[in-house]
Amino acid sequence: MTIRSILFGAAAAALLFVAPATASEGGGHDGRPPRLSWSFAGPFGTYDTAQLQRGFKVFKEVCSSCHSANFLYFRNLGQPGGPSFSEAQVKQIASGYQITDGPNDSGDMFERPGRPSDHWPAPFPNEQAARASNGGALPPDMSVLAKARSYHVGFPGFITDAFIQYQEHGVDYIHAVLTGYGEAPEDVHVQSGLHYNKYFPGNQIAMPNPLSDGLVEYTDGSPQTVDQYASDVAAFLMWVAEPHLDARKRIGFQVVIFLIVLSGLLYFTKKKVWKNVAH
């Protein structure tokens, strides 16, 4: 009785929670981003430190010239479960930027080299300045971008994703957009100032193709291709959006194992107590 009731309960619960997932994907894409294999996917996934460091380089040299990442602090770059730069490297990276601080004793704002406690400096002082410099389009803040983007999965993918723990829609999308530039098909008229992109909703994106082969120099021998850059920077942005993912999955495994043991013990205890009662 018990097992079947529980299974039934689980199935009923599953039925109740699956409905929203269809809603949780933005629709209107002509092409669905391909699913890539990410080191941080699945129950035992962890970030690849080398990939995060490469992705950081792409972010620093390319993305960050237009995009802010206001919740990313220099100190984050050295914390465990991230690109794991040394303390000295973090200080060096931070001091490479001028930060506006103040006011000082005479009431003036002043510039000083960055410190690990500073957040990543935004390329534009405010939204209006960002729009003015980018033809009216606002380059979105990248702090949680990898969690703020998704795509339509449809039935039954949105159900199975919960069971296979597929959470990498955002990074798939970022990689897809970065590699999705190309010539527009003949029947598509691209408005001036916009660019054709296979994976961007509506296919017309204000951001010009930011990557090209060989643009960023890698020192670890990884291929210097657009595809590699796109994967690396997407992985880096996933880390920026979810910096505690490694710890979360590690603790989760311990918790689930513990709960299974506890449930087992409780089950046998309960059985023993109920042994003499017909029910």
* Residues whose CB is less than 8 angstroms from the CB of residue 115 and which lie 6 or more positions away in sequence, other chains included: 74, 91, 94, 95, 99
Measured from the CB atom, the residue of 61 and 271 that comes closer to another protein is 271
Q: Which of residues 35-74 bind another protein (CB under 8 A)?
A: 43, 70-71, 73
Query: Interface with another protein includes 268 (CB under 8 A)?
Result: yes
Number of residues that bind another protein (CB under 8 A): 79
**Residues within window 231-260 making contact with another protein, judged by CB under 8 A:** 241, 243-244, 248-249, 251-253, 255-256, 258-260
Instruction: List CB contacts of 137: < 8 A, sequence separation 6 or more.
Output: 131, 206, 207
Footprint of another protein on 77-106 (CB under 8 A)? 79, 105
Q: What part of residues 199-228 is at the interface with another protein (CB under 8 A)?
A: 201
Comparing CB distances to another protein, the nearer of 23 and 109 is: 23
- What amino acid is encoded at 24 in this protein? S
What is the gyration radius of the CA atoms in the chain, in angstroms? 24
Binding flag, residue 157, another protein (CB under 8 A): no
Question: Among 55, 10, 61, 92, which residue's Cα sits nearest to residue 239?
Answer: 55
Residue of 33, 55, 81, 170 interacting with another protein (CB under 8 A): 170
Residue 211 to residue 65: CA distance in whole angstroms: 13
Quick one: 57 or 149, whose CB is closer to another protein?
Answer: 149
Q: Which stretch binds another protein (CB under 8 A): 11-19, 50-58, 191-199, 223-231?
A: 11-19
Binders of another protein in range 175-194 (CB under 8 A): none
> Binding to another protein by residue 110, rule CB under 8 A?
no
Residue 49: CB minimum distance to another protein, A: 19
Rounded Cα distance, 71 and 68, in Å: 9
* CA distances for 118 relative to 75, 94, 133, 152, 205, angstroms: 8, 8, 25, 37, 31
- In the bound state with another protein, the residue whose beta carbon lies nearer, of 6 and 188, is 6
Axis-axis angle for helices 169-179, 226-241 (nearest 10): 150
